[in-house]
Copies of this chain bind each other. A is one copy, B any other.
């Protein structure tokens, strides 16, 4: 892939994925870089005039009445980075760290900060060199993730720890090996590094693109379950969706229809139930609702990824800084709060379907899909997904509004943006287990449907599953199979079937 040209305005989830996960290089648009240089000059001119600018010529937070003398710009900004290194473990993955850095780099290019252009370039250089500061994920109340972002600044001045070339090492050493020089912090630079929602936005972007991939696989697993059950296809008919035109409900129904194209379940079957349980019948609606929530969150996070969250905000046309509240991420944090609830529905529906696959009254197959009465098979496994579903239910409780007024009662509200995102990430990972177990059941059920034609995609999916875990012909420890099924979903191999 070519390097991604950054302008501050074209960031998408796909771009983030390419840079964060696939290691795509980045490159700052030269024209944009020029603009940064111009602004920087204007900033220096202002500094001469000694008007109080938050985080520039005066301190931050409650210390906004403390003056910063010009000759101490480096010392002040270094201290600012130091004093903002307050986050605590656990530390985020390299993929997430890249997303965080990319996110901040891109919004710097919106040119409302007065940042040193070399500092912007340093983000690009470190990304391209693969130098990844160790970033803690706890310690932000979600009005700019200063306590985490500061560790990027620490690495940039050659301090703290980074991951580089597969090992953890001092930042200074990694910069040296990569042929980069530590930066010297000038006025406003400390604030530019820390005062943004980079952690939450970066983790949020990674979580969202992983979630979108997962939801496609969830449709495949459902399709296998529907075939495993021998269920009704009428709830997927285009006509019944056209009359209730929720965009993603319609799309989900269409996608599932394509997955089961050619399946035996379209054949008329005497004795088939007139209607399946709601957890089977309503998947286009349930998954569709989750997609609506994803879409809402993606659109609003998209604006965050492509615009400034700096305060004060420099407006070139007015040649001045203005106090504002652009650090406020509530609008898309609410999206994540909603997503948590939406995914709890996705989870519970999966569990309910798995229960039906185990129940002869619904599936017409053996109890717990056992190959014979003396095998216990999936009986106990129900406890696993039931327990995980309760965890997801618990994680779906909101958190954004909880918090304490701090900083002399000035920072009196919060969003806990990183925690909102991290909860969804945790839900997503747990969902992988839930659907792994549904997939184990669906495959076991399909083994009892041998000889019947399966759908275009589900047939291949069933074969792929059986490459990774075999039919339960007799009791064996089940945990290894769960982990294998989970790994298959995590690997995204099922996605290749959709291409």
A324 to B390, CA, bound (A): 25
Stretch in A26-34, A141-149, A178-186, A455-463 with 4+ CB within 8 Å of B: A141-149
Tell me, yes or no, whether A59 is within 8 Å of chain B by CB. yes
Whether A289 lies near B331 (C-beta < 8 A) is: yes
Stretch in A92-100, A203-211, A372-380 with 4+ CB within 8 Å of B: A372-380
User: Which of B323, B380, B391, B415 makes the CB contact (< 8 A) with A83?
Assistant: B380
Chain A window 130-158, contacts with chain B (Cβ cutoff 8 Å), 1 for yes, 0 for no: 00000010111111001100000010000
Tell me, yes or no, whether A363 is within 8 Å of chain B by CB. no
Shortest CB–CB separation between residue A460 and chain B, in angstroms? Answer: 27
Tell me, yes or no, whether A235 is within 8 Å of chain B by CB. yes
Whether A285 lies near B330 (C-beta < 8 A) is: yes
User: Which A80-127 residues sit within 8 Å CB-CB of chain B?
Assistant: 80, 82-89, 110, 112
Tell me, yes or no, whether A408 is within 8 Å of chain B by CB. yes
A89 to B479, CA, bound (A): 9
Given contacts A355-B406, A390-B419, A477-B85, contact A367 B63 (CB under 8 A): yes
Tell me, yes or no, whether A18 is within 8 Å of chain B by CB. no
Top 8 A-B pairs, shortest CB-CB distance: A83-B376, A282-B325, A85-B477, A285-B328, A240-B324, A79-B475, A338-B338, A382-B406
Whether B244 lies near A307 (C-beta < 8 A) is: yes
Whether B328 lies near A240 (C-beta < 8 A) is: no
Tell me, yes or no, whether A452 is within 8 Å of chain B by CB. no
Tell me, yes or no, whether A160 is within 8 Å of chain B by CB. yes
**Which one of A62, A142, A345, A377 has the highest number of Cβ atoms from chain B below 10 Å of its Cβ?**
A345
* Chain B residue contacts of A62, Cβ below 8 A: 367-368, 379
Shortest CB–CB separation between residue A408 and chain B, in angstroms? Answer: 7
Whether B292 lies near A334 (C-beta < 8 A) is: yes
User: Which A395-429 residues sit within 8 Å CB-CB of chain B?
Assistant: 396-416, 418-419, 423
Whether B240 lies near A404 (C-beta < 8 A) is: no
* Chain B residue contacts of A355, Cβ below 8 A: 404, 406, 409
User: Which of B87, B286, B406 makes the CB contact (< 8 A) with A479?
Assistant: B87
A315 to B251, CA, bound (A): 19
Tell me, yes or no, whether A175 is within 8 Å of chain B by CB. no
A275 to B483, CA, bound (A): 33
* Chain B residue contacts of A482, Cβ below 8 A: 86, 88
Whether B244 lies near A308 (C-beta < 8 A) is: yes
* Chain B residue contacts of A160, Cβ below 8 A: 477
Whether A240 lies near B86 (C-beta < 8 A) is: no
In the complex, which residue of chain B has the Cβ closest to the Cβ of A373? B66
Stretch in A221-229, A257-265, A346-354, A491-499 with 4+ CB within 8 Å of B: A346-354
A342 to B332, CA, bound (A): 11
Given contacts A322-B234, A375-B79, A383-B140, contact A85 B478 (CB under 8 A): yes
A384 to B404, CA, bound (A): 11
| A–B complex contacts, Cβ < 8 Å, 7 sampled | A52-B274, A64-B273, A139-B384, A244-B326, A335-B338, A345-B400, A396-B398
Shortest CB–CB separation between residue A469 and chain B, in angstroms? Answer: 14
Whether B324 lies near A87 (C-beta < 8 A) is: no
Tell me, yes or no, whether A176 is within 8 Å of chain B by CB. no
A284 to B246, CA, bound (A): 30
* Chain B residue contacts of A474, Cβ below 8 A: 79
Tell me, yes or no, whether A189 is within 8 Å of chain B by CB. no
* Chain B residue contacts of A154, Cβ below 8 A: 477
User: Which of B72, B249, B309, B390 makes the CB contact (< 8 A) with A399?
Assistant: B390
Tell me, yes or no, whether A293 is within 8 Å of chain B by CB. yes
Whether B390 lies near A396 (C-beta < 8 A) is: no
Whether B278 lies near A239 (C-beta < 8 A) is: no
Whether A475 lies near B293 (C-beta < 8 A) is: no
Shortest CB–CB separation between residue A51 and chain B, in angstroms? Answer: 10
Chain A window 335-365, contacts with chain B (Cβ cutoff 8 Å), 1 for yes, 0 for no: 1011001101100110110011001001000
Given contacts A140-B387, A324-B240, contact A380 B86 (CB under 8 A): yes
Shortest CB–CB separation between residue A266 and chain B, in angstroms? Answer: 14
* Chain B residue contacts of A374, Cβ below 8 A: 66, 72, 76, 79
